[in-house]
Amino acid sequence: MNTSNNALTEAVYYILLALIEPLHGYGIMQRTATLSNGRLYLSAGTLYGALSTLMEKGWIEQIETPADSRKKQYIITATGRQVVEQELLRLNELVTNGKSILKK
């Protein structure tokens, strides 16, 4: 669980969403760009730094790939899914409160 009670960055949020299905690094870059309607383009350095951090937190894991494959694939863990679900609740609360106050 996101025990720090901090909001996820947009990059981390979209990486976690992208990894609902197994993907390799370039696939994650493409999927996050698609999910964000082109607003978020991850550089390789940003992506691989985030993947390392997310693996350390136990939010994603590397999955087995054929021995002859150079591509590492990743997938979200149950804990990572809980984190992204909590973030979605937080974001929904922000939108609800904003609409209420602004009468939208």
Find tokens 């136990």 and name the residue.
58
Please check whether residue 1 lies inside any domain of the structure.
no
* Residues β-bridged to residue 76: 60
Up-side HSE of residue 89: CA atoms within 13 Å toward CB? 9
**Could you tell me the residue range of the domain that residue 84 belongs to?**
10-102
CATH of the domain at 77: 1.10.10.10
Residue type, 98: G
Find tokens 């981390």 and name the residue.
12
Please check whether residue 2 lies inside any domain of the structure.
no
71 — pLDDT class (breaks 50, 70, 90)? confident
CA distance 70 to 101: 51
Please check whether residue 3 lies inside any domain of the structure.
no
Write down the pLDDT at residue 5.
Answer: 61
Token duo for residue 21? 């299905």
Residues 11-60 have pLDDT tens digits of: 999 999 999 999 999 999 999 999 999 999 999 999 999 999 999 999 99
Count of the separate structural domains present in the chain: 1
Phi/psi at 29 (nearest 5 deg)? -60, -45
> Is pTM, for the whole model, over 0.85?
yes
